[in-house]
Structure 1
Amino acid sequence: MDFEDFVNENQKTWNKWTPTHINSKFYNNEEFKMTGNSLHSIELNALNNIKNKTLLHLQCHFGQDSISLAKKGANVTAVDFSSASINEAKKLSKLMGIKVNFILDNILNFEINQKFDLVFSSYGVVGWLPDLDRWAKTISKHLKKGGVFVLTEFHPFYEMIKDKGNNYFYTKKPKIEIKHGSYVDGNNNFKTKTFFWNHSLTDIFGSLEANGMKLCLFEEFNYCPFPLPNMIKIDDKKYLLQKRAKLSTPYIFNLKAEKK
């Protein structure tokens, strides 16, 4: 299998996961319909004031964060490679009366004749990408000069210590996982296969720099703002891996890079 085959298999997985995610406690879609916000303080602080700004949201899943960004006043275009996710995102946006331009596409191939003030992506996105150079090219070519890319992502160190662990450095051969259900519910009666690549901070920084962007913020957080498997709550909206709770290690990072 080559990279495109791996991406296609992951696409099938996300199409299977989407119906489960919409009805899951993890995403709590019924509450979201009332509050209109799924964003956390970590990414909100990095994004700062987005009112009246054009924003491209990459890997948007079924649209909760995209809609949240639009509700805060941004003019949002959102992209995902899962047809099931984009279909549900459009339904959710229409139901809530909040305009978002949802587009079905693989972000590694995505191109639209528009430049944006901001490009944003968050939580569990980079690991699905086999090629960070193509990823960074997509970001760079859609930013205005002086525009900013904001990435809120799981720290590579966290990816190493959770579950059975991952490599820190990139390997061309992906990590393969076969599981029942998804990360929100392991008890579903369907099985999926996923292909995942870990990327070092050097690789992430380097790909952005090589494509005309300058790092202007990097910060790390020693907690996760929402519960994932094997985590315990230690404070309001702060969660740690139970087996690592006594250690202060990075879980999340914020990155901002400006288009030169």
Structure 2
Amino acid sequence: MDDYLQVNRANWNARVPVHVGSAFYDVEGFKAGRNALRPFELDEVGEVAGRSLVHLQCHFGLDTLSWARAGAEVTGLDFSEAAIEQAGRIAAECGLPARFVTADVYDAARALGETYDIVYTGIGALVWLPDLTRWARTVRELLRPGGFLYVAEFHPFVDVLDDESGTKVTEDYFDRGPHVWEYPHTYTGPEILEHQTTVQFRHGLGEIVSAVAAAGLRVEFLHEHDHTLFRRFGTLVGDGDVYRRPAGEPRTPLMFSLRASLPADGRS
């Protein structure tokens, strides 16, 4: 636990060149104009032109730069030096204005030194954070009065189900961890990683919402979605760029999205 940050940073630094070269991220397609964001994110966040947006845990910045293409004034922050270096390079090659900063998310307010209209946290981010109360307080520090947090994430209930059918509970939903995993690969392909250990933390939906509310943000919506972005369970069926349970089967939540605002007067 004491070394979780260093362990995870080494793993993510090792992932960067693999991810940049992968078909999963399709960097060349992005450079040609592809938008990396999901349609429901664009709909739920709404118009961003002329608004300042910070993307926490931005990896190498494709989602961040997609918001820039939509007109936002973007900043991306990540703890991986390798990821931030790649993000800056892609931004320059695409001619997109963006600021990228290397820092731990808990140190974001000090490292960035400014506030924003929108704090965005993308998919697959929260499992790397041991303390959501501290994270939510950081988000509030980063928000301007009248601004909002937007989170799109995999639903935490998914992690307690078996990998094949996704219908049997095999893990303890309330076991927060830390969970130490050893995987030779990342999710984009078979390449062997130099650093294979990760430390992750499981957060229930109630914990996430409660942390946001306790930080003084007003929850505008919490949407649960019946689709996900990859074949998380062997039985899921692809439908364009999303995967769902087969027609006629009972559905379970696979993703969620949350939007919460800081009142215009800056008070809770």
Same fold (TM over 0.5): yes
Who is 1:108 aligned against? 106
Contiguous gaps of at least 5 residues in structure 2: 165-169, 264-268
Q: Residue type matched to 2:119 in 1? A: V
1:136 offset after TM fit, Å? Answer: 0.6
* C-alpha separation in 2, matches of 1:93 and 1:201: 34
* C-alpha separation in 1, matches of 2:262 and 2:113: 17
Asked if 2 retains the 8 angstrom alpha-carbon contact of 1:55 and 1:116, the reply is: yes
Q: Residue type matched to 2:260 in 1? A: A
CA-to-partner distance for each residue in 1:57-115, whole Å, 9 max, x for gaps? 10100010011000110000110000010000000000100011000000012223212
Asked if 1 retains the 8 angstrom alpha-carbon contact of 2:173 and 2:204, the reply is: yes
1:210 offset after TM fit, Å? Answer: 1.0
Q: Residue type matched to 1:140 in 2? A: R
Q: Which has the higher strand share?
A: 1
- Structure 1 segments, 4+ long, off by >3 Å, are 162-167, 225-234, 244-247
1:23 offset after TM fit, Å? Answer: 0.6
1:235 offset after TM fit, Å? Answer: 1.8
Who is 1:205 aligned against? 209
- 3-state secondary structure, aligned to 2:196: strand
Who is 2:10 aligned against? 12
Select between 217-226 and 157-166 the one with higher mean Cα deviation.
Answer: 157-166
1:212-223 matches, cutoff 5 A = 212-223=216-227
Who is 2:54 aligned against? 56
Q: Residue type matched to 2:174 in 1? A: F
Q: Residue type matched to 2:56 in 1? A: L
226 and 44 in structure 1: CA distance in 2 versus 1, 3 angstrom threshold: farther
Return the TM-score normalized by structure 2. 0.89
Who is 1:252 aligned against? 255
- 3-state secondary structure, aligned to 1:70: helix
Alignment RMSD (CA, Å) = 2.1
1:190 offset after TM fit, Å? Answer: 3.9
Who is 1:184 aligned against? 188
1:234 offset after TM fit, Å? Answer: 3.3
Asked if 1 retains the 8 angstrom alpha-carbon contact of 2:15 and 2:193, the reply is: no
* C-alpha separation in 2, matches of 1:148 and 1:247: 34
Asked if 2 retains the 8 angstrom alpha-carbon contact of 1:42 and 1:152, the reply is: no
Asked if 2 retains the 8 angstrom alpha-carbon contact of 1:36 and 1:71, the reply is: no
* C-alpha separation in 2, matches of 1:166 and 1:90: 39
Return the TM-score normalized by structure 1. 0.91
Select between 60-69 and 173-182 the one with higher mean Cα deviation.
Answer: 173-182
* C-alpha separation in 2, matches of 1:22 and 1:245: 38
Who is 1:142 aligned against? 142
1:215 offset after TM fit, Å? Answer: 0.6
Q: Residue type matched to 1:249 in 2? A: T
Asked if 1 retains the 8 angstrom alpha-carbon contact of 2:18 and 2:191, the reply is: no
Asked if 1 retains the 8 angstrom alpha-carbon contact of 2:229 and 2:242, the reply is: yes
Q: Residue type matched to 1:45 in 2? A: D
* C-alpha separation in 2, matches of 1:33 and 1:182: 23
* C-alpha separation in 2, matches of 1:30 and 1:184: 16
Asked if 2 retains the 8 angstrom alpha-carbon contact of 1:59 and 1:121, the reply is: yes
1:1-260 matches, cutoff 5 A = 1-2=1-2, 5-111=3-109, 112-161=112-161, 163=163, 166-171=171-176, 173-188=177-192, 190=194, 192-227=196-231, 230=234, 232-240=236-244, 246-260=249-263
* C-alpha separation in 2, matches of 1:140 and 1:78: 17
* C-alpha separation in 2, matches of 1:170 and 1:146: 35
40 and 220 in structure 1: CA distance in 2 versus 1, 3 angstrom threshold: same
- 3-state secondary structure, aligned to 1:149: strand
Q: Residue type matched to 1:67 in 2? A: L
Select between 191-200 and 11-20 the one with higher mean Cα deviation.
Answer: 191-200
- 3-state secondary structure, aligned to 1:108: helix
36 and 100 in structure 1: CA distance in 2 versus 1, 3 angstrom threshold: farther
1:117 offset after TM fit, Å? Answer: 0.7
* C-alpha separation in 2, matches of 1:212 and 1:239: 35
